[in-house]
Amino acid sequence: MNDELIKYKEFKENYEFKQKSIEVIDGKEYCDGYPLFDEEGKEIGECDKWINVGYKYSGAYPKVLSNLFPYEFEFRGKKLNSIESFFQGIKFKNVEMQNLVFNYSGLDSNNIKVCNDYDWKITGKLFWQGEELDRFSKEYENLVDELYISAIQNPLYRNALKNCKKDIIHTLGVEEKEETVFTRHEFEKQLNSLKDFLKI
């Protein structure tokens, strides 16, 4: 995995990513000329040009590419039951609590934030096994790269990304780093660069 992480970081460093913009035309949202909602007001998970990742969206790719999907993999000696369980777990200062969160699948770990008495948004500090992490640091970005390379060691997740032929968007994502541990831009760049990396 270390060799693959090194190769991926080099690839990502030179990866040209341009985030697709969302336009509002006559009160309706569009991305790359395609509507984001159908006539009944439901989110569209896939069109000819993109896959809009969302665990509750229709279609296989939107669901299986979501951080909430229950892929099991090992990261730094810890077994995680989803990528989301990492992003929720690092919000806990207490190591024991963090390790408990890692055992949950995506939807459950996403809801477990109500059990936390620490608000990372006040300090911008997250935690990995008791060690403080600055949300806005290169160290944090490196940790996330390592996370995703660990995740693609799960053959199902690897193949889902590798087989994906369309651009990946995530319109549910939050834009500001101060408000989320993984922004829409960060998520879209990560998945698009990973899927292209796996094709070389």
pLDDT at 194: 98
Give the per-residue pLDDT at 196.
Answer: 98
Q: Where are the domains of the chain?
A: 2-197
Q: Is the pLDDT of residue 1 over 80?
A: no
Instruction: Tell me which DSSP letter residue 19 carries.
Output: P
Is the pLDDT assigned to residue 146 strictly greater than 90? yes
Each residue's pLDDT tens digit, 56-93? 998 999 999 999 999 999 999 999 999 999 999 999 99
Q: pTM of this prediction?
A: 0.95
Looking at 1.10.1060, 1.10.357, 3.40.190, 3.50.50, the CATH number of the domain 2-197 comes to: 1.10.357
pLDDT at position 76 is: 97
User: How large a percentage of the chain has pLDDT more than 90?
Assistant: 92
Q: Give tens-digit pLDDT for 97-111.
A: 999 999 988 788 888
Distance CA 17, CA 53 (A): 17
pLDDT of 2 > 80? The answer is yes
pLDDT over 90 at 51, yes or no: yes
Overall average pLDDT of the 155-167 stretch: 97
CB-based contact 21:31 (threshold 8 Å):
yes
Mean pLDDT of the chain: 95
